[in-house]
Amino acid sequence: MHETERIVRIFHESWDMRDPERGAAVIADDCRFEDVARAELLTGPEGYVRDYHRWRTAFPDGQLEITNVIIQDDRAVVEFVNTGTHTGTLLSNLGTFPPTGRVMKVRYCSVMRVADGKVIEGRDYYDSASIARQLGLLDD
């Protein structure tokens, strides 16, 4: 397996393993990771761990399934599906959303760059309106 793929798989698989420290271990201290849907910048391992706990609190049963990984040198595109039941409060820069008890299933795409065994930059793309509709926060 290519080293870039190994690193991005550790990053994503740590979600299902319920092990944010494992994911944080492959993130450079100065990594800038953008959540495009929320227009939010996460910096370094601390940003990753904070974001992990935000989503894990809202979706404690959350699961992540990697569906495709494309590698070119130090760059990776990772497609995956996140599912989970909204049983905890979701805190976001877009608002605070109390539990709805509804299930969401959303496709994501991460574009990442790796150097010296660490993620040094990345962006997550997903349809936040799809999440809001599935949780009953937006009308269909």
pLDDT digit string (tens) for 78-113? 999 999 999 999 988 778 999 999 999 999 999 999
For the chain, what percentages of helix, strand and coil (3-state, to nearest 5) are there? 30, 45, 25
Q: What pLDDT shows up at residue 94?
A: 79
pTM of the model: 0.92
Residue ranges for the chain with pLDDT beneath 70: 140
Rounded to the nearest integer, the mean pLDDT of the chain is 95
Cα 70 to Cα 1, 11, 64, 92, 116: the distances in Å are 12, 15, 17, 30, 19
From the CA atom positions of the chain, what is the Rg in Å? 15
**CATH pick for 3-134 out of 3.50.50.60, 1.10.3720.10, 3.10.450.50, 3.40.50.970:** 3.10.450.50
